[in-house]
A and B are shown apart, each in its own frame.
Chain A
Amino acid sequence: MSPTTDAAQPGSRLTARSLTLAYEDRTVVHDLDLAVPDGQVTVIVGPNACGKSTTLRALGRLLRPRGGAVLLDGTELARIPTKQIARSIGLLPQTPVAPEAITVSDLVARGRQPHQSWWQQWSDEDERAVADAMSRTDVTALADRSVDELSGGQRQRVWIAMALAQDTDLLLLDEPTTYLDIAHQVEVLDLVRQLASPAEDGTRGRTVVTVLHDLNQAARYADRLVAMKEGRIVAEGAPGDIVTAELVAEVFGLEAVIVPDPVTGSPLVVPGAPWTPASPAPASPSASASSAASDPASASAPTPGKALRP
């Protein structure tokens, strides 16, 4: 591991050190430090435009940091050949685009790219990895189908299969549940958990970092939750430790009640104020709760949801 002792805590292959990210002249992420725990599912949450996807892109070297660095095994990503990174970090962008009329098996097989060369375009190892990835995502039966003609849920599973075929220790998934109905969302997230779970022989599972929109899903599936707001990390830790009404109010500006998930016991966030037929007049006092939800500026509004706790 890294010779520098002040680097990540033990067991973090992927870390970010005072990471500053910007698009053109707009700084999106400020001085962010993050250590991704190995073999666990880390979920980044936060309101729209808080920099969570941007952070994930930087972790996957899709975005070059303006300041600071992302380190893989203690070495800056910028100093590692991209093909070598691709053997350790697999990633699935938010809206990947498949070549027109490509078949499912062809697309999944392209995940093997970093393991191949001009002279060795296919190996038994490739075949094993592709077969394994396809059976894990349950797309083996679709192998000969064209990706164009699949449903949204099937297509997302195929893309995840491609990322799995890459056979990397780390997986970065950018909102993998977008565009999916709830059953398919659960299916994808169950798969993510399964990937991170240790194998029977005790070897640890894969490390997954993902961005999710749904706070409840994040709390249910994450080992480690990272809550971001305005380009900074507000809280990070196990969901049961950090998801509180105060945090939800601070990060999302939403008055909420936290109850245990009846199935898993993980924190479940329920919006705290019932819907009222508020008049559109902005000055109406009865609308204060709902306006706090929509306006991040009033996030530190005087009545955070704790008072409403049963």
Chain B
Amino acid sequence: MTSRTEGTSGTSGSPVAVQGVRVRPAGYSVVKAGPRGRFLLHRRASVVAAGLVVLLAAVCVAYLCVGESFVAPGEVVKVILGQPSSAELVVGTLRLPRMVVGLLVGVAFGVAGALIQTVARNPLASPDIIGISQGASALTVGAMTFGITSYTVLPYLSVLGGIAAAALVYVFAWRGGLHATRFVLIGIGFAVALRSVTTLFLTKGDYLVAQQAQIWMTGSLNGRGWSETAPIGWTLLVLLPAIAWAARAQRTVTMDDDTATGLGVRLGRVRLGLVALGVVLASVATGTAGPVDFVALLAPQIARRMTRTAQIPLLSSALLGAVIVVLGDLLARKLFSPTELPVGVLTAAVGAPYLIWLIIRGHRGRSGGTA
């Protein structure tokens, strides 16, 4: 444009920084990709993510080994590599598909929680607290009581329910702008209302259906297999470019509105995009395994404390979500064996105390909820 664009401003007239002093964002490295590509990589976050990959691999192997019968890790590896093995049935047919579903559900919840918490600038704004999971539950349970029990239809219904609930919260929370606290409070209100709708369906419905619905609602991987893997797997794959965009866009919405706008960020659109992505992921995950409570709340918060980044790290959240769900399901299967608990019971047992701690801490210090 005019006068100043070609970097004439500072170099000439001012004392340039001392030679050798690197002024990059502290803790970041610049990674080159091709002639023009330059990416900022947070070093600590990269180390954490690598560690989580190792941890996840270990948890997955343990998941496949442990069960009603123990299978040696060597046999597990054989099955994964497609070599003939005596453990083909137990590992390949029973445990592996269920583990993959759990892993994908965990990834989806982890990313969804990270995105929605980022936009709302509030750790409480996770999809299972602001009504998205409850919307999915209400529609799914409602459909069940009306005789729709096919597992090929129900996941789509819960996606629909989750998105509808999120849209309602968004519309009601919007008043010339999106205020974080209002968004969370209205979400909580909707969550309560939708939960009572679900209860209404349960009491009106058939006893057997109610029991089935109850298990679904706690979040369970029981009986999930390859057929449940496809929808969530494809969703994650298709949305991968969007998730890559979100990882960068997240940076900009952590500032206050005026500063972000001043930096040329189209806040309204970026927020809507991030929330929409989070809602779709949370809804798909809920449709697959039911509302596995607190994963979307826990994973991003723990991940951020590990990486110490200024925004919630998306990759680490995803990996941690997977670790939590797979490990949770492993414990749920084994802890009270032969009785199998739904994985949602376990994540709730860990998540609820953490939520209480978050609230207490938030009231003591700076809550970071508004702006």
Contact = CB atoms under 8 A, between A and B. Distances in A.
Contact of A203 (B12, B36, B40, B371): B12
A103 B26 contact: yes
Interface residues on A, range: 35 or more
Given A110-B263, A140-B18, A143-B26, A128 B310 contact: no
A169 B251 CA distance: 25
Interface in A97-137: 97-111, 113-114, 118-123, 125, 127-136
Contacts of B18: 135, 140
Contacts of A133: 10
B9 A106 contact: no
Contacts of B23: 105, 108, 127, 130-131, 134, 140, 143
Contact of A111 (B1, B258, B263, B366): B263
B82 interface: no
Interface in B14-38: 14-18, 21-28, 30, 36-38
A97 B255 contact: yes
B84 interface: no
A306 interface: no
A118 to B, nearest CB: 5
A33 B40 CA distance: 43
Given A99-B310, A125-B7, A104 B259 contact: no
Contacts of A30: none
Nearest to A84: B264
Nearest to A134: B23
Contacts of A120: 36-38
B368 interface: yes
Contacts of B8: 199, 203
A96 B259 contact: yes
A146 B371 CA distance: 20
A93 B16 contact: no
A61 B261 contact: yes
Interface string A154-171: 000000001100111100
A7 to B, nearest CB: 15
Nearest to A167: B9
Interface centre among B25, B244, B258, B262 (most CB of A within 10 A): B262
Given A103-B26, A167-B9, A91 B255 contact: no
B265 to A, nearest CB: 7
Contacts of B266: 82-83
Interface centre among B10, B18, B251, B366 (most CB of A within 10 A): B10
A94 to B, nearest CB: 8
A85 B1 CA distance: 11
Interface residues of B, number: 53
B317 to A, nearest CB: 16
Nearest to A197: B13
Contacts of B258: 57, 62, 91, 93, 96
A6 interface: no
Interface in A57-110: 57, 60-62, 73, 81-93, 95-110
Contacts of A214: none
Nearest to A60: B262
A49 B129 CA distance: 40
A201 interface: yes
B254 interface: yes
Given A96-B256, A101-B310, A133-B10, A127 B261 contact: no
Interface centre among B14, B18, B21, B244 (most CB of A within 10 A): B14
A168 to B, nearest CB: 8
Contacts of A111: 263
Interface centre among B4, B39, B258 (most CB of A within 10 A): B258
B9 A206 contact: yes
A206 B8 CA distance: 12
A110 B255 contact: yes
Contact of A121 (B38, B254, B255, B259): B38
Given A73-B2, A118-B245, A103 B310 contact: yes
Contacts of B264: 81-87, 113-114
Contact of A98 (B24, B251, B255, B263): B255
Given A82-B264, A103-B310, A132-B16, A169 B259 contact: no
Interface of A: 13, 57, 60-62, 73, 81-93, 95-111, 113-114, 118-123, 125, 127-136, 140, 143-144, 162-163, 166-169, 198-201, 203-206
Given A83-B264, A96-B256, A122-B38, 15 more contacts: A61-B261, A83-B265, A88-B2, A110-B263, A111-B263, A113-B252, A118-B248, A122-B28, A122-B30, A135-B15, A140-B17, A143-B26, A144-B26, A169-B3, A199-B8
Interface of B: 1-5, 7-18, 21-28, 30, 36-40, 244-245, 248, 251-252, 254-256, 258-259, 261-266, 308, 310-311, 366, 368, 371
6 contacts: A106-B28, A119-B37, A122-B38, A162-B259, A167-B10, A200-B13
For the complex of A and B, the 7 pairs showing the least CB-CB separation, nearest first, are A86-B264, A199-B13, A131-B17, A83-B264, A102-B310, A132-B10, A93-B258
